[in-house]
Amino acid sequence: MIGVRHISDDLVEDQIGVAQLRAMSSLYIDDVLSIVDRGLENLPSYLDLYRKAVKQAWSPDDLDFSRDKAEWEFLSPETKKRRVWSMRMFFDGEERVAGLLAPFVWAAPNKEVEAFAATQLADEVRHTIFFDRYWREVVGTSAASLDELVEEIGIRPEENKAYSYFFYQWLPELAQHMASHPEDREATVRFVTVYHLVVEGALFLTGMRYQLEGARRWGRTWGYYQGFTAATRDESRHVLFGVRYLRDMLRQDPARFGPVIQTTIQKSLPLIEETMRPPRGDMSYYGGDHLDVAWPGSTPERLREEMIDYAKSSLGRRLGAVGIHMAL
Ligand SMILES: [Fe+2]
Ligand SMILES: [Fe+2]
C-alpha cells in the first residue's frame, strides 16, 4: 500500500501537532506517521519531545463511544472476532509497556531523558485507560477492575508465542535488570532497542497504521478512531525519543553500544514476523468483510506480508537515523 496522505509535508507538523480529539476524525494516519519520518531528518531534543508531550496530552474521558457502540451491536460474529483479537493485542501491549517503563525512568542517564520518559509513562497509562473505557462501553465485560479486565483480555502463550515472549518475558527481564542495575548503560540501550524501536516502532505503529487506515476506509472515524489516532501521535513521539536516545548513546561510544543494538535487532527480526501470525495460523483474522471493504483486491496473505514489509522498512529507516546500517 502506498502512503495515503491528506496534508502536505510543510503543513503536517502544524496541523497534526495541535489537533484536538474531535478533529482526529478527519486526520489520515499516514499524515500522523509522517511526523516520525520528518523527525528522523532533524531529531528533536529530549526536552522538545517533553514539551510536545505536555501540549498534546488528552483524556480518554473526553471521547464519545456512542456511534462505536451502535455499530458494534450489528457486527457479524466474524467481524467481532477479528476486531477483538487485534484490539486485545493493543490493549494488553499498552498495559504491559505502561507497567514496564518505570525502571527506565529510574535508570535514565540524565534529567532530560528522565523528564521525557516520565511523560511517556503517563501516555502508556492513558492508552491503557482508553482501552478500558472502550471495552466497558463497546465490547462489553463483567470484569470488576482494570486488573480483572487485563487478566481477561491478556494474550496467552498458545495464542501467540512471540507476542508472549516480547511482553511477558523479554521486556520484563530487561526492565527487572535495569531496576536492579540502574548504572548499566548497555541495559538501557538494549531496553530502548526492544521497547521503542521494535515493539513500539515496528509492531505498534504498523498495527496502528493498518487498523486505523482500514477503519477510515470502512467509514468508522468516531470515538475509537479519535482516541487511537491520538495514541498514534503519542507513539510517534516515543519512537522519535528511542531513535534520539540510541543515536546519542552510539555517538558517545560506537564500539560499546553498536554491537548491543545490532544483536538485539537480529534477535527481534524473526519475532516481528511471528507476532503477526494469527491464532492457530487462521488467516481469516486478516480477511472477511473488512478486507473486501477496506483493502479490495488484496488477500489475507498479501496483507500480512505487506505489514511485515512495512514494519521492517520503517525499522530500517529508524536504524539508519541511529547510525546503524544492517540488512533486515
Ligand atoms: Fe502506548
Ligand atoms: Fe508508547
User: CB-side exposure of 58: number of CA atoms within 13 Å?
Assistant: 23
CB-CB contact of 121 with 105 (8 Å):
yes
CA of 32 to the centre of ligand 1 (A): 15
The secondary structure of residue 110, as a DSSP letter, is S
CA of 49 to the centre of ligand 2 (A): 13
CB-CB contact of 260 with 186 (8 Å):
yes
User: CB-side exposure of 260: number of CA atoms within 13 Å?
Assistant: 21
List the shell of residues around ion ligand 2, using CB closer than 5 Å.
Answer: 200, 235, 238
Per-residue confidence (pLDDT) for residue 96, from 0 to 100: 98
CA of 297 to the centre of ligand 2 (A): 32
Calculate helix-pair angle for 9-18, 29-41, nearest 10 degrees: 110
CA of 54 to the centre of ligand 2 (A): 15
CA of 238 to the centre of ligand 2 (A): 5
Please give the domain boundaries of the chain with CATH numbers for all domains: 9-322 (1.10.620.20)
CA of 123 to the centre of ligand 2 (A): 7
Q: 107 is written with which cell numbers?
A: 535508570
pLDDT in tens, the chain (328 residues): 667 999 998 899 889 999 999 999 999 999 999 999 999 999 999 999 999 999 999 999 999 999 999 999 999 999 999 999 999 999 999 999 999 999 999 999 999 999 999 999 999 999 999 999 999 999 999 999 999 999 999 999 999 999 999 999 999 999 999 999 999 999 999 999 999 999 999 999 999 999 999 999 999 999 999 999 999 999 999 999 999 999 999 999 999 999 999 999 999 999 999 999 999 999 999 988 888 888 889 999 999 999 999 999 999 999 999 999 999 9
CA of 125 to the centre of ligand 2 (A): 10
Per-residue confidence (pLDDT) for residue 125, from 0 to 100: 98
**Phi and psi torsions of 219, nearest 5°:** 100, 10
CB-CB contact of 212 with 228 (8 Å):
yes
List the shell of residues around ion ligand 1, using CB closer than 5 Å.
Answer: 94, 124, 127
Among 234, 232, 224, 226, smallest CA distance to 206 is for 232
CA of 297 to the centre of ligand 1 (A): 32
Residue located via cell numbers 478533529: 23
List CB contacts of 182: < 8 A, sequence separation 6 or more.
103, 106, 107
CA of 127 to the centre of ligand 1 (A): 5
CA distance readout (Å), 38 to 9, 33, 41, 130, 317 = 9, 9, 6, 27, 11
